[in-house]
A and B are shown apart, each in its own frame.
Chain A
Amino acid sequence: MDCYTANWNPLGDSAFYRKYELYSMDWDLKEELRDCLVAAAPYGGPIALLRNPWRKEKAASVRPVLDIYSASGMPLASLLWKSGPVVSLGWSAEEELLCVQEDGAVLVYGLHGDFRRHFSMGNEVLQNRVLDARIFHTEFGSGVAILTGAHRFTLSANVGDLKLRRMPEVPGLQSAPSCWTTLCQDRVAHILLAVGPDLYLLDHAACSAVTPPGLAPGVSSFLQMAVSFTYRHLALFTDTGYIWMGTASLKEKLCEFNCNIRAPPKQMVWCSRPRSKERAVVVAWERRLMVVGDAPESIQFVLDEDSYLVPELDGVRIFSRSTHEFLHEVPAASEEIFKIASMAPGALLLEAQKEYEKESQKADEYLREIQELGQLTQAVQQCIEAAGHEHQPDMQKSLLRAASFGKCFLDRFPPDSFVCMCQDLRVLNAVRDYHIGIPLTYSQYKQLTIQVLLDRLVLRRLYPLAIQICEYLRLPEVQGVSRILAHWACYKVQQKDVSDEDVARAINQKLGDTPGVSYSDIAARAYGCGRTELAIKLLEYEPRSGEQVPLLLKMKRSKLALSKAIESGDTDLVFTVLLHLKNELNRGDFFMTLRNQPMALSLYRQFCKHQELETLKDLYNQDDNHQELGSFHIRASYATEERIEGRVAALQTAADAFYKAKNEFAAKATEDQMRLLRLQRRLEDELGGQFLDLSLHDTVTTLILGGHNKRAEQLARDFRIPDKRLWWLKLTALADLEDWEELEKFSKSKKSPIGYLPFVEICMKQHNKYEAKKYASRVGPEQKVKALLLVGDVAQAADVAIEHRNEAELSLVLSHCTGATDGATADKIQRARAQAQKK
């Protein structure tokens, strides 16, 4: 361990910086980096190189080539650049490559060089061309800032939701600023630019000149500026070789440094870690790398090769043609443990564990020392934390071993932190692997979250690794394995060289009935790639028929969609498809389709009944459904038509339809109604009063009540009203009129077809006992008893009943006998009964 701190470089009194190798690059670059446009994504993301970007010849051999590599230099994609000249490259937060062209068009490519989309930065940019462009990240996503040939800035804070903002003009700006950068304050993006000795801050409303506090005098120009990863700090490099470091708000100076190099640096980036007090800036020239901070001395490295700096959350990645390194401030826990002659509890614990392995009693001494100070818990925590910051698995292991060893002597140390660290490190070591090439540090990983890391693995099509991680971390299936399998399937359907059957089968085999996997989503993707047949095959695996419908509709398989919708039993879905079909097909075909689907048909009919009466008619017409058509016109005759002519016409149409339907009864009834309607109209004209819409029966009754007996008779004859009805009708009407004379006349006109009991009943109903008695005598023998009882002649009723020797009648009479008055009658009946029984 003696040399463990060999690569630690102190900066000032309190901080060490170390640089270690992540990978030796395997990309066999022929060009120097300086001949390429370079963009590397943060969080160990991919690297994009555009070779020959400035050549304008059309010859294919010298056309620019766009290459994409993983952080370890593994080639991911390579494509010939055929579009316009590119000014700047950059990665979005979703790891999409944004290529800003000179004409202001931004082309978006995926990680694998697949073209996604493009958008324009506006007309103004198109006219004045792009001078310089930056891709920057905010909490809303990734933004693009552009400096045009007219020295104006245009920016969009989020390319996912493109809103272009043209920044105000800088007064009197004649030439391009010597350097500029985007700042993000209070959730708004600003631009800071340097023109000669002046600094200007542009927000969307105004341009204001700013002065950094405590800036050394004599500055005539700013050569470089750098904003920290979190937009909190700003560094300025002046032509005097002076570096100013302060807050990004330009309100406070943190420190300054004079490096006495007047050559403009190639790159300058911040190198600080979250929650650390140390501030440092890394400045790179052609062959020199310098770390400066709040210290009189700086750390200097020699650069053997052309190098490129990538600012990260907690350090700086530096890659060149042959290596990829990471430079960062040594974290506090590591510093405590590994600092030479450290007596920190963690350091002692590590030492104790080593001695223990050597089976030396010193182990006990070290342990005692820690325990006496009561710092064992702290020691274990230190070891765990330090392990997270180590890059080498060996070192991680020995630290974890020490932590585990220390844990044995603690009663109640919560195991979570140790377990989680072990799991996290396993995941980290797996993704740091050369073949995967995502050199995340522990802090970056925690910031990124496991979900995003999984997304990135999926994006790199590393499905097996992603699934292994999910299973290892026991993530819930829906967020973990299922999601990844679904992504895999979506990728699988894009493999055009595999047949539809094979793809469908392979997908089904892998996915089976995994919960949370939507076959319809995968099918939608397949359809997106133009593989309709495959999409249909995949939909077959979708257990919920309702889910199949929208895609089938999109694929114009409407009829299939209709039957699936019906299968689902969801009438809403059926309706959706129906409306779709209605717009898609011509009317005839639409109706034909409906005809074969009774369920859909009745649904549509219901809708039409309320909303589209005409369509309903067409529907019946199409089906030659004359019966329904007839009914339709009948309804129209009283619901929609108002004029009498219209109503009769509607009825005529209905009658015709009924004839066609071979429903003669309905046809005849309809014709009768036409006659009746006309007649009622005439009656209204001639007699006044309300006749329209009365039934035949009511019409006749109204006539009788109005005293138009002749007309009533005529009507009854015309419409062949049966005798029985006519008698009931007249009887009721005359009784209502209380025209007893006419009633009696009527009763004598001929023999009543309904008997005379109804006469008795109706008179009694009008409380006319006198009239009732008249008819009671004429009632036939079977109903005589009833009639007599009705008029209240119990005694006579008893006589008749006895005469009839009818048991039922006898009991009926008996039940009408009320104790006081009819005592004698009751006795009589009882006697008759007894007699009958004797016989």
Chain B
Amino acid sequence: MAFPHRPDAPELPDFSMLKRLARDQLIYLLEQQHEVDKLYKVENKPALSSSEQLCFLVRPRIKNMRYIANLVNADKLAGRTRKYKVIFSPQKFYACEMVLEEEGIYGDVSCDEWAFSLLPLDVDLLSMELPEFFRDYFLEGDQRWINTVAQALHLLSTLYGSFPNCYGIGRCAKMSYELWRKLEEEEDGETKGRRPEIGHIFLLDRDMDFVTALCSQVVYEGLVDDTFRIKCGSVDFGPEVTSSDKSLKVLLNAEDKVFNEIRNEHFSNVFGFLSQKARNLQAQYDRRRGMDIKQMKNFVSQELKGLKQEHRLLSLHIGACESIMKKKTKQDFQELIKTEHALLEGFNIRESTSYIEEHIDRQVSPIESLRLMCLLSITENGLIPKDYRSLKTQYLQSYGPEHLLTFSNLRRAGLLTEQAPGDTLTAVESKVSKLVTDKAAGKITDAFSSLAKRSNFRAISKKLNLIPRVDGEYDLKVPRDMAYVFSGAYVPLSCRIIEQVLERRSWQGLDEVVRLLNCSEFAFTDMTKDDRASSESLRLILVVFLGGCTFSEISALRFLGREKGYRFIFLTTAVTNSARLMEAMSEVKA
């Protein structure tokens, strides 16, 4: 059932090197200290440790600085002197030092940087583990992480050779790319001579395709993420899954043989697969019945351990499946999916709208409701004013007034907007050109951003054929295209774009799509045409998602890779899903 890779599929580069590098650096940083006594979470409360020195390993956030400052100042008040060391990962920001200074403790702490920006979560998945990237950049317009991205790319090209072909779409992609280029130029020599291991790099901004990220996931790995939340490549399976009274932390990656076979499968196939697997396993166990002593000895020493391991994993995943099924059938999951598909295809809008309204009225889930509203807005190029108002009113009544700010955020990010009457694209454009003559530069950017936020999903969908014409039932067991990750109803836009560009080796012929995506100024191709790249490396593609990617997208591209003989490697600022996106935009009471 699991699709084997084509025999000519290229080998993946070895990313464990990244882990080793990071580990060595951390060890070096910590060795300058004395022995680490105990680990604490940085929180806004006094440290209980009686140790003579404290070492903080933190993300460079202002909030964290305040916590540290409170702690140090509390120590000072209590008249105790300790040594403090702050290790920032992946880098230190001047603003953080400023805060330390303003809080009057700059002289008391020493600072260091731990340049750990790439965490290999799996053989083909690297994560920067920067979930805040999404909100910081796409909502607040804060570009501080772009430098971090550029540095990560630079590290990759140092380790695995420079990339002969670069493609990208989006403003952030462009900036990262340019900064990265600058870094490469500054560093001369050595790396240039290396044979490139990875033939293509594709950078894309999350905001060019919100739709895909907002859909419910139905591929196993995505579903596990939606249901249990995968954190840093591992998941906490609660008692309902482990069928014991304990929770279990399970690493989910290619090492897990069972998981590896079902991760990219549509959920409807998973159960069947697992039961087949269980039968096979039983058969293997059963073999021992007819064995003599010697065979038995062999069996115990060689196979039993593997079988046991497999058995354990199998029961875990079966447990997870049951748990998912219970949840998903209870709250009318089918209905939800149906509504989503209707939204994607653009029919029965009224019905979908009232479905969403009911959803809100019943207080089913604040995040889910918000997600559906956004999906409606993006697929319809904004809500019609009446719906916009009424849905928001309903939502505020259900979940509280602070979400007025949530809506303001969503509007700014272009996730939930109002259709302006007669506000077609050309109208906006003329408005912009009028503003350009104005000297109010600040307003221009506002106008531009509102322009950038027109989604034109319907037109793009038609152009790229995102909704497959289905004759008869879509056979989810034998997927035909990437649409299988959404039950055959929709081909992920981001993945389709990647497919198209790779096919053409450029953006040529996609002008119209790029224009509709409102990214025209930010699509770029850079073909250095490096002849030294082997044909094998040219079939390796690094896809960089700025703002996060979902497991569905990963599965879709893995499928595409198998079809075309490519291998994709994913680099994301963080693995995301619809709930995480919505939470990033939500205002919650502190």
Contacts and interface: CB of A to CB of B under 8 A. Distances in A.
Nearest to B186: A544
Given A697-B398, A721-B397, A728-B361, A666 B404 contact: yes
Contact of A571 (B144, B363, B394): B144
B93 A634 contact: no
A570 B442 contact: no
A665 B383 CA distance: 15
A732 interface: yes
Given A571-B147, A665-B389, A732-B362, 14 more contacts: A515-B188, A569-B143, A575-B98, A595-B442, A596-B442, A599-B141, A603-B144, A610-B63, A627-B408, A635-B402, A670-B404, A725-B397, A728-B358, A754-B358
Contacts of A573: 94
Contacts of B363: 697
Contacts of B146: 569, 571
Contacts of A672: 396, 401
A693 interface: yes
A695 B396 contact: yes
B144 A697 contact: no
B400 A695 contact: yes
B66 interface: yes
Interface residues of B, number: 50
Contacts of A459: none
Contact of B401 (A570, A602, A610, A634): A634
Contacts of B402: 634-635, 638
Identify the 9 closest CB pairs spanning chains A and B, nearest first. Answer: A602-B141, A610-B62, A695-B400, A673-B401, A572-B94, A571-B144, A725-B361, A696-B397, A569-B179
B142 interface: yes
10 contacts: A571-B94, A571-B144, A596-B441, A603-B144, A610-B66, A631-B405, A639-B590, A670-B404, A696-B397, A724-B357
Contacts of B143: 569, 571, 599, 602-603
Contacts of B442: 595-596, 598, 601, 623
Nearest to A654: B404
B102 A611 contact: yes
Interface of B: 62-63, 66, 93-95, 98-99, 102, 136, 140-144, 146-147, 150, 175, 178-179, 182, 185-186, 188, 357-358, 361-363, 389, 392-394, 396-402, 404-405, 408, 441-442, 445, 587, 589-590
Contact of A670 (B136, B179, B401): B401
A573 B146 CA distance: 14
Determine which residue in B142, B358, B441 has the highest number of CB atoms from chain A within 10 A of its CB, and name it. B142
A634 B393 CA distance: 16
B404 to A, nearest CB: 6
Nearest to B66: A610
Contacts of A666: 404, 408
Contacts of A669: 392-393, 396, 401, 404
A693 B144 CA distance: 35
A496 to B, nearest CB: 34
Contacts of B94: 571-573, 575-576
B61 to A, nearest CB: 9
Contact of B589 (A606, A670, A693, A729): A693
Interface string A712-734: 00000001011011001100100
Q: Please classify the interface of chain A as helix (H, G, I), strand (E, B), loop, or mixed, using the class held by over half of its residues.
A: helix
A79 interface: no
Contact of B140 (A543, A571, A606): A606
Contacts of B392: 665, 669
A606 B397 CA distance: 30
B178 A569 contact: yes
Interface of A: 515, 543-544, 569-573, 575-576, 579, 595-596, 598-599, 601-603, 605-607, 610-611, 623, 627, 631, 634-635, 638-639, 665-666, 669-670, 672-673, 676, 693-698, 719, 721-722, 724-725, 728-729, 732, 754
Contacts of B140: 602, 605-606
Contacts of A719: 397
A687 B295 CA distance: 78
Nearest to A600: B143
A669 B395 CA distance: 11
Given A607-B62, A693-B589, A634 B404 contact: yes
Nearest to B366: A695
Contacts of B393: 669
Nearest to A721: B397
Contacts of A693: 400, 589
Most chain-B CB neighbours within 10 Å: which of A515, A569, A598, A694? A569
B141 A571 contact: no
Contacts of A635: 402, 405, 587
A695 B400 CA distance: 4
Nearest to B589: A638
A579 B98 contact: yes
Nearest to A515: B188
A660 B167 CA distance: 44
A606 B179 contact: no
A633 B560 CA distance: 49
Given A572-B94, A598-B141, A725-B394, A695 B399 contact: yes
A635 to B, nearest CB: 6
B401 A695 contact: yes
A399 to B, nearest CB: 42
Contact of A728 (B188, B362, B399): B362
A213 to B, nearest CB: 52
Interface-centre pick from B185, B397, B442 (highest chain A CB count, 10 A): B397
Contacts of A569: 143, 146-147, 150, 175, 178-179, 182
Contacts of B142: 571, 602-603, 606
B187 to A, nearest CB: 12
Given A570-B147, A695-B398, A575 B95 contact: yes
Nearest to A545: B182
Nearest to B411: A627
A757 B112 CA distance: 62
A297 to B, nearest CB: 65
A573 B93 CA distance: 10
A380 B393 CA distance: 101
B91 to A, nearest CB: 9
Nearest to B92: A572
A562 B64 CA distance: 27
B130 to A, nearest CB: 14
Contacts of B182: 569
B227 to A, nearest CB: 20
B179 A598 contact: no
Contacts of B150: 569
Contact of A611 (B99, B141, B394): B99
| Residue among A570, A579, A595, A695 with most chain B CB within 10 A | A695
B363 to A, nearest CB: 6
A171 to B, nearest CB: 47
A605 B136 CA distance: 11
A779 to B, nearest CB: 16
Most chain A CB within a 10 A radius of its CB, from B143, B398, B405, B590: B143
Nearest to A664: B389
Nearest to B398: A697
Contacts of B397: 695-697, 719, 721, 725
Nearest to A697: B398
A263 B389 CA distance: 113
A506 to B, nearest CB: 26
Contacts of A607: 62, 95, 98
A695 B404 CA distance: 12
Nearest to A727: B361
Among B94, B178, B399, find the residue whose CB has the most chain A CB atoms closer than 10 A: B94
Contact of B93 (A544, A571, A695): A571
A665 B404 CA distance: 10
Nearest to A606: B142
A667 to B, nearest CB: 10
A713 B564 CA distance: 63
B93 to A, nearest CB: 6
